[in-house]
Chain A
Amino acid sequence: MAYVAHDETAYVAPLEVEEEHLYHAKTWLGKYVFCQDAKVIAIQYACTAMGIGLVALVFSLIMRLQLGFPNTFAFIAPEDYYQYVTMHGMIMVIYLLTALFLGGFGNYLIPLMVGARDMVFPYVNMISFWVYFLAVLILVASMFVPGGATGSGWTLYPPQAVTSGTPGSDLGIILMLVSLIVFIIGFTMGGLNYVVTVLQGRTRGMTLMRMPLTIWGIFMATVLALLAFPALLVACIMMLFDKIIGTSFFMPAVISMGEQLPHTGGSPVLFEHLFWFFGHPEVYIVALPAFGIVSDLLSTHARKTIFGYRMMVWAIVVIGGLSFIVWAHHMYVSGMNPYFGFFFATTTLIIAIPTAIKVYNWVLTLWHGNIRLNVPMMFAIGFIFTFINGGLTGLFLGNVTVDLPLSDTYFVVAHFHMVMAVSPVLVVFGAIYHWYPKMTGRMLNDSLGKVHFWITFLGTYAIYYPMHYLGFLGLPRRYYAMGPTEFMPASAQSLNQFITIAALVVGAAQLIFLYNLITSYRNGKESGDNPWESTTLEWQTAETPPGHGNFGKDLPLVYRWAYDYSVPGAPSDFLPQNLPPQGGSAEGIKED
């Protein structure tokens, strides 16, 4: 009986590029610290990002303590609150998620999944991590300088970011800007590597349209980052000049605390444009890798081909392109020509189309699948829920007239946490449960994983659902304490307490995850090479964890796409990408 596989071909083009000469480190320092192997760099990136991410998590819990129980904790002063908000937001978005998805998963998965021995420029790649590390150090340093970290919110809007009265308006903001500049430099070095590896470093038979969606997501996100970070870089440089040498790019004439500042004639709105020209693509920089990874998790664990692979790829590309022309939907309240508002609202709503296509395809991938409800799959399905939720509220906020009253309320906080905070983080967890066996050779503990999932997933809803309601009531974001108001009923405070308790529980649940990560490294069940029976190349390596050079003596040849699950008539329910058309092991493959 013949079986049908997707676009199968026996022909594999000859080698075009000689194999990379791998650099073999000779010293201990070169092997473990300044290592040029993308897999080690990935783990360095991931550990640093998760370390600093934990700090941001603790900050959010401190904020919640204050919001739930105002006037109770003497150690949280109003200025501190603003610094916590700022650092929490900035770290989560840039130093955790961007670094983790691109530096962490990108480094680990790109060479393995496209069948390369390493990134194309391993040395630059190594430097990239250390520059990122330096950026994190500068960021941490900014919390300890006189005046403390900046408290201007993660958007760093001038004039208040650099005007006295805002916490950390001297050294704090300077170090913050320097840290961002350093981060961008480091990222660019890594990002060039990821892009060129995907475009020019694939193995024989790996066409772009056979790449797993994970790689598509990471690739497109990197392209976005390479084109969006320049705007942030320029904004940081100009704000530094405003702060240090007294130029007036962003600073109009300001009277602050009864004193006329030496600035004149600058444009604060210019900063907003630059910031959001970066800021909106940034949302997709953390979302696209999540989209890609979740597609692979769903397909693998549902034992089904991904629904509409081509549509998925094009949706990623289209979303990436559109994300550059929607930025001013963050600026409706800054005041703009109604026609601009119309334009940006339209483009924003148009993005919903490819995004909805992706959601339908995920759901259709599950449809009639042979679902294995293991921990990565649970996180992947959880992602679909939170993402739909956050996406729907995004439709509200994309419309100018609906956004105006909701802007800067907890409705917005709830929206962006659902769509760009919790959703990608769920994917991060799912991805770690999925790929941990490849990185360490051991499985993470399943029961602990399930506990972790349910607390995190349900806790998320407990935290953010009530926030939508608080936002409708008019609770403003970035407020240290509300005090008595006419529009907030007293019961709103009990809701706030409820949210805080839920947040504390979710925060504590992450300790289970950490415990799992650490203990499974030694005691986890042996995973073998391909515990999930997955088709993609990283599971077909000779050893687990893969050695230096990834694939042993010969690079794999790719004969098929990444989603040959449950192919009718095939001997097993998955056909690895490097399985030749006829030469499979068992009978039943031959045509008759």
Chain B
Amino acid sequence: MSNEIAVETGRSIDLVEGLPGIVSDWSSDQRAFKRVPWGKAMMWIFLLSDTFIFSCFLLSYMKVRMTTVVPWPNPSEVFALTIGGHHIPLVLIAIMTFILISSSGTMAMAVMFGYRKNKKVTGWLIILTALFGASFVGMQAFEWTKLIVEEGVRPWGNPMGAAQFGACFFMITGFHGFHVSIGVVFLVIMAVKVFRGSLDIGRPGLFTHRPGDYEEIEIMGLYWHFVDLVWVFIFAFFYLW
């Protein structure tokens, strides 16, 4: 049994380790998740709900892919680029995936430096994360343009095969890209807050409540990692299958 200091009130509460700890937390009063601030709990639950949304999208995609009688276009052909005379399958997607995963790294570092109260480094890491995110969306826009203009893929049909190919592609990557874009906007807002010192003084506003607390960055990070993780599944199920 370890004696932990409750972050918020400075009073000590008893925390138990391991499985018995979970039981004792859930049977205690006030909070089922000790030391978890409200915003973080809310983000976790929201992400759970969002997981169901993406799962429904992906399962629906699998279902229509199995239902349709027209052959499914080969993704590694469709998403190939010819660079310097070489025909490279999935190259753009590989780069995009790499960028998005790197952005998770910078985000994680931002969280760490935030808790160390290093404003400058934190702010720049968040900006860097946002830049990665923006370039991801940019490349996605490039990919969409290429598909629409050069390959003639439309939501209602395409020359390569099943009509649902375009429909699923635009819907799922669009929904994901929308998540990334929202994330970028909030990252920029967060960076401004960090540089201004709003988190230190707890200036009232979106995302800030307790002075001197950088947990908002961690909450933001949860969202960002989630968007990243979802991409891995989209990548696996849409591009590699």
Nearest-Cβ distance from residue A213 to partner chain B, whole angstroms: 17
Q: In the bound complex, how far is the Cα of B54 from the Cα of A227, in angstroms?
A: 12
Indicate whether B34 reaches chain A with its CB closer than 8 angstroms. Answer: yes
Indicate whether A264 reaches chain B with its CB closer than 8 angstroms. Answer: yes
Q: Given the complex, which residues of B lie within 8 Å of A233, measured CB to CB?
A: 53, 56
Indicate whether B30 reaches chain A with its CB closer than 8 angstroms. Answer: yes
Q: In the bound complex, how far is the Cα of B52 from the Cα of A297, in angstroms?
A: 35
Q: In the bound complex, how far is the Cα of B211 from the Cα of A202, in angstroms?
A: 23
Residues of A1-23 at the interface with B, using a CB-CB cut-off of 8 Å, are: 12-18, 21
Residues of B18-50 at the interface with A, using a CB-CB cut-off of 8 Å, are: 26-34, 36, 38, 41-42, 45-46, 48-50
Nearest-Cβ distance from residue A251 to partner chain B, whole angstroms: 10
Q: Given the complex, which residues of B lie within 8 Å of A12, measured CB to CB?
A: 29
Of A13, A193, A205, which is in contact with the most chain B CB atoms at under 10 Å from its CB? A13
Interface residues on B, range: 35 or more
Q: Which residue of B lies closest to A227 (CB)?
A: B52
- Would you call A237 and B8 a contact (CB within 8 A)? no
Q: Given the complex, which residues of A lie within 8 Å of B46, measured CB to CB?
A: 188, 192
Q: In the bound complex, how far is the Cα of B29 from the Cα of A270, in angstroms?
A: 43
- Would you call B167 and A241 a contact (CB within 8 A)? yes
Contact of B64 among A13, A17, A265 (CB under 8 A): A265
Q: Which residue of B lies closest to A199 (CB)?
A: B32
Q: Number of A-B pairs whose CB atoms are under 8 Å? A: 149
- Would you call B27 and A267 a contact (CB within 8 A)? no
- Would you call B60 and A265 a contact (CB within 8 A)? no
Q: Given the complex, which residues of B lie within 8 Å of A210, measured CB to CB?
A: 29
Of B6, B11, B30, B67, which is in contact with the most chain A CB atoms at under 10 Å from its CB? B30
Indicate whether A245 reaches chain B with its CB closer than 8 angstroms. Answer: yes
Indicate whether A27 reaches chain B with its CB closer than 8 angstroms. Answer: no
Q: In the bound complex, how far is the Cα of B30 from the Cα of A13, in angstroms?
A: 9
Nearest-Cβ distance from residue B84 to partner chain A, whole angstroms: 36
Q: Given the complex, which residues of B lie within 8 Å of A247, measured CB to CB?
A: 155-156, 163-164, 166-167, 171
- Would you call B164 and A274 a contact (CB within 8 A)? no
Q: Which residue of B lies closest to A277 (CB)?
A: B56
- Would you call B13 and A238 a contact (CB within 8 A)? no
Indicate whether B57 reaches chain A with its CB closer than 8 angstroms. Answer: yes
Q: Given the complex, which residues of A lie within 8 Å of B155, measured CB to CB?
A: 241, 245-247
- Would you call B164 and A209 a contact (CB within 8 A)? no
Contact A16-B64, Cβ < 8 Å, known A121-B42, A231-B56: no
Nearest-Cβ distance from residue B92 to partner chain A, whole angstroms: 24
Q: In the bound complex, how far is the Cα of B169 from the Cα of A249, in angstroms?
A: 12
Of B29, B42, B48, B209, which is in contact with the most chain A CB atoms at under 10 Å from its CB? B29
Q: Which residue of B lies closest to A210 (CB)?
A: B29
Q: In the bound complex, how far is the Cα of B28 from the Cα of A558, in angstroms?
A: 12
Instruction: Digitize A244-279: 1 where CB-to-B-CB distance is under 8 Å, 0 elsewhere.
Output: 011111000000000000101111001001100100
- Would you call A274 and B60 a contact (CB within 8 A)? yes
Residues of A186-225 at the interface with B, using a CB-CB cut-off of 8 Å, are: 188, 192-193, 195-196, 199-210
Q: In the bound complex, how far is the Cα of B34 from the Cα of A196, in angstroms?
A: 13
Q: In the bound complex, how far is the Cα of B154 from the Cα of A262, in angstroms?
A: 13
Q: Given the complex, which residues of A lie within 8 Å of B32, measured CB to CB?
A: 199-200, 208
Instruction: Digitize A409-425: 1 where CB-to-B-CB distance is under 8 Å, 0 elsewhere.
Output: 00000000000000000
Indicate whether A230 reaches chain B with its CB closer than 8 angstroms. Answer: yes
- Would you call B31 and A202 a contact (CB within 8 A)? yes
- Would you call B31 and A16 a contact (CB within 8 A)? yes
- Would you call A202 and B29 a contact (CB within 8 A)? yes
For the complex of A and B, 9 pairs with smallest distance between CB atoms: A230-B52, A265-B68, A247-B167, A234-B56, A246-B156, A230-B53, A267-B67, A226-B49, A120-B38
Binding site for B on A (CB under 8 A): 12-18, 21, 120-121, 188, 192-193, 195-196, 199-210, 226-227, 229-231, 233-235, 237-238, 241, 245-249, 262, 264-267, 270, 273-274, 277, 558
Would you give 12 A-B contacts (Cβ < 8 Å), ordered by A? A120-B38, A188-B49, A196-B38, A208-B26, A226-B48, A227-B52, A230-B49, A230-B55, A241-B167, A247-B167, A266-B164, A267-B67
Instruction: Add 18 more A-B contacts to A192-B42, A264-B70 (CB < 8 A).
Output: A13-B29, A188-B46, A192-B45, A193-B42, A195-B45, A196-B42, A200-B30, A207-B27, A207-B29, A226-B45, A226-B48, A235-B56, A238-B60, A241-B171, A245-B156, A247-B164, A249-B167, A265-B69
